[in-house]
Amino acid sequence: MLRWYLQFVPYRSRPAFLYESFYSIGRGCFIALWPFSWVVLKTELGGELWHLAAIGSLWGLAGLVAPLWARLGRRIGLRRLVVWPNVGAGLSLVAVAFVSGPTSFVLLMVAAFLIGAPTRLTEMGLYRVLYPASHRSLAVGFMKGVGVVSGSAATLVGTWLIGAYDSRHGIIYALVGILMMVSAWFYGKIPIPRSAQVLTRKSGTPRASFSQVLAALSANPRFLRYQRAFFAPGFGNFMSMALVAEVMRERIDAPVWALGAVVAIFPFILQPISAPFWGRYLDRVSPMRARALFSTLMVATYSFYCYGGVTLQLWPFLIGSLLQGITTSGNHINWTTGNLYFARSEHVSLYNSFHMASTGVRALIAPLVGAWLFSWIQLGAWVFAISALLAAVGGFLMLRLERADDGVSQEQEEAATV
């Protein structure tokens, strides 16, 4: 299959495409452990709601430290900035196999994600120089598909271990940690072109860097409108994701197989089927139109979750998880490549840093808000309805922005002026 895909990738991009595909195997397993950790906490470790919220905030913590990665890249190089954090995160996952308490488990997962997750910032910037715009979403879509297949395998094996044996979750975490370190070696083999130097251009002191970010963003109001429209559905999504496991286990008393399927397996196992389609689709439409579509599907997903939680039925969670699984790969591609539509070459790292940081803010705060609404305000499953409403607002704003846009990306403007 990889050989078949290579024929659609420009010749100069094939080495990077090949090595990054192997890297995506370990990376996909790492990402899959995020929702799988909710299953582990509720079935094996006796985790409470605040443990679930802490795991839900992992991407937020990683996003907030992501801007530091842009500055580190100027000191140690882009390739090392991906390789060594993946090694460090892998070691943290290996350590998970030796703990048995929910708090220790959460702390090690926080360490792994703080070290390993912000490398996405560097990966996102390198997409711009490794793959041309005409094939970028296709390439990213394939690599997401590879990661999803490996992540699906990890969640399937992990769920089987939990269901068939007691306290065997550490095995899958240790294996994924080792796989991450092997995958990091493959990323270290990617040839980085000289054009990537623009991504590590020095920007002076931190105060000067901050001023540069403000100047670049204030000069591009359509990017700021895009980020505002992105915020509402993103906040709603992070607010309710951890609550799915809580409602299913504590309110519905769902069996392990159902909890694992809804929270971890379905959202991953359906992604490789849809990833190539979404990659081709996103190459043809603007990121605003794509985000409006994904927001609409998010409305349907959380509406099913709300209905299932209010009526204490399992089948709406299964349908909602299927919808989420079909759209997740497209969501990830759009989240990863959408900024490149607005950014000039010299501003790619700045825009990605801002995007990661804004995602970090909502990913850090939203799970805590969701837990507060669920437990202390006693809204229960009606929190899912709030997430659906926020997704509808975001979709509407994206449609307005898409209609007002001229349809020309910043990269196309640069090419036209050369």
Q: Whole-model pTM?
A: 0.78
Question: How confident is residue 417, by pLDDT bands cut at 50, 70 and 90?
Answer: low
Question: How confident is residue 11, by pLDDT bands cut at 50, 70 and 90?
Answer: low
Question: How confident is residue 413, by pLDDT bands cut at 50, 70 and 90?
Answer: low
Tokens of 161: 């271990």
179 closest CA partner among 113, 86, 96, 116:
86
Q: Does residue 212 surpass a pLDDT of 70?
A: no
- The structure tokens 């799970």 sit at 367
CATH superfamily for 8-195+206-403 is MFS general substrate transporter like domains (1.20.1250.20)
Domain ranges of the chain: 8-195+206-403
Average pLDDT over residues 78-82: 79
Whole-number pLDDT of residue 191: 82
pLDDT tens digits, residue range 159-192?
Answer: 888 877 766 788 999 999 999 999 999 988 888 7
Q: Does residue 323 surpass a pLDDT of 80?
A: yes
Higher-confidence residue of 352 and 263: namely: 263
Least confident of 99-103, 206-210, 289-293, 296-300: 206-210
Percent of the chain with pLDDT over 90: 37
The DSSP-derived string for 375-410 is: IIS--GGGHHHHHHHHHHHHHHHHHHHHHHS-S--H
Whole-number pLDDT of residue 46: 87
Please give the Cα distance from 305 to 155 (Å, whole number). 21
Q: Does residue 198 surpass a pLDDT of 60?
A: no
Please give the Cα distance from 143 to 162 (Å, whole number). 28
Contact between 57 and 363 under an 8 Å Cβ cutoff? The reply is yes
Contact between 182 and 30 under an 8 Å Cβ cutoff? The reply is no
